[in-house]
């Protein structure tokens, strides 16, 4: 009799476990579906062909991409063509290009959304620079002479390539004209020409 009761209890447990598994599979399938549709929206919003999330867990990739999508809706500037956006388990952004032709930006999987916003703007700044050969222009050479890199950021002093990206991140920041002082007129004009013309 005891054996029969424990057999019934065991089969009850097995049924519950199987139901639990089915539920988990269902939730995972739904998440996978919404992650891929989110990827499509980000691609469209940022003028990008591919998105990969590497070894980032799906839930984390979803949070990062969701923020990027909302953030990109606040951009009023022209989006340069991006071939690929990679979300990775790294603590910084990165820009990879092949002569301005193949452009890829790498963004960190981070819960620090302010930093993610900055990385996105900085890396897009590189894409704007490379796709327009901005630092090859006469205007840049003239304006460059009197840019005080320290007033932009400490990283802006690294080299001219980083300075241009930092200028774009600075100019397009939500804090521009608030906690970030407005740039000298000619510098702002030069950056705006690439952003808005
Ligand atoms: Zn950079």
* Per-residue confidence in pLDDT tens, the chain, 197 aa: 566 666 667 676 776 676 666 666 666 566 666 999 999 999 999 999 999 998 999 999 999 999 999 999 999 999 899 999 999 999 999 999 987 678 999 999 999 999 999 999 999 999 999 999 999 999 999 999 999 999 999 999 999 999 999 999 999 999 999 999 999 999 999 999 999 98
Q: At what angle do helices 58-72 and 113-132 cross, to 10 degrees?
A: 60
Query: Which residue has tokens 């000619």?
Result: 186
Pick the CATH number of 2-196 from 3.40.390, 3.30.450, 3.30.390, 3.30.950: 3.40.390
* Tokens representing residue 100 in the block: 């301005």
pTM score, whole prediction:
0.83
In the chain, domain spans: 2-196
- Residues 163 and 147 sit within 8 Å (Cβ to Cβ): yes
CA 39 to ligand 1 centroid distance, Å: 24
- Residues 65 and 87 sit within 8 Å (Cβ to Cβ): yes
**What Å distances lie between residue 193 and 50, 107, 153, 189, CA to CA?**
27, 26, 22, 6
CA 126 to ligand 1 centroid distance, Å: 7
């Amino acid at each position: 009799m005891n054996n029969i009761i424990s057999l019934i209890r065991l089969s009850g447990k097995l049924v519950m476990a199987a139901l639990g598994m089915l539920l988990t599979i269902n939730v995972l399938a739904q998440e996978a579906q919404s992650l891929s549709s989110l990827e499509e929206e980000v691609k469209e919003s940022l003028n990008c062909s591919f998105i990969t999330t590497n070894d980032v867990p799906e839930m984390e990739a979803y949070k990062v991409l969701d923020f990027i999508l909302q953030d990109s809706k606040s951009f009023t500037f022209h989006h340069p063509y991006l071939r690929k956006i990679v979300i990775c388990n790294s603590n910084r952004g990165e820009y990879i290009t092949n002569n301005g032709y193949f452009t890829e930006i790498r963004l960190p999987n981070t819960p620090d959304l302010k930093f993610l916003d900055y990385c996105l703007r900085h890396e897009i700044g590189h894409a704007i620079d490379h796709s327009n050969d901005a630092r090859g222009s006469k205007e840049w050479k003239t304006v460059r002479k009197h840019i005080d890199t320290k007033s932009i950021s400490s990283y802006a002093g690294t080299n001219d390539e980083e300075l241009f990206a930092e200028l774009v991140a600075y100019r397009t920041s939500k804090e521009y004209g608030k906690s970030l002082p407005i740039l000298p007129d000619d510098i702002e004009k030069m950056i705006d020409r690439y952003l808005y013309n």
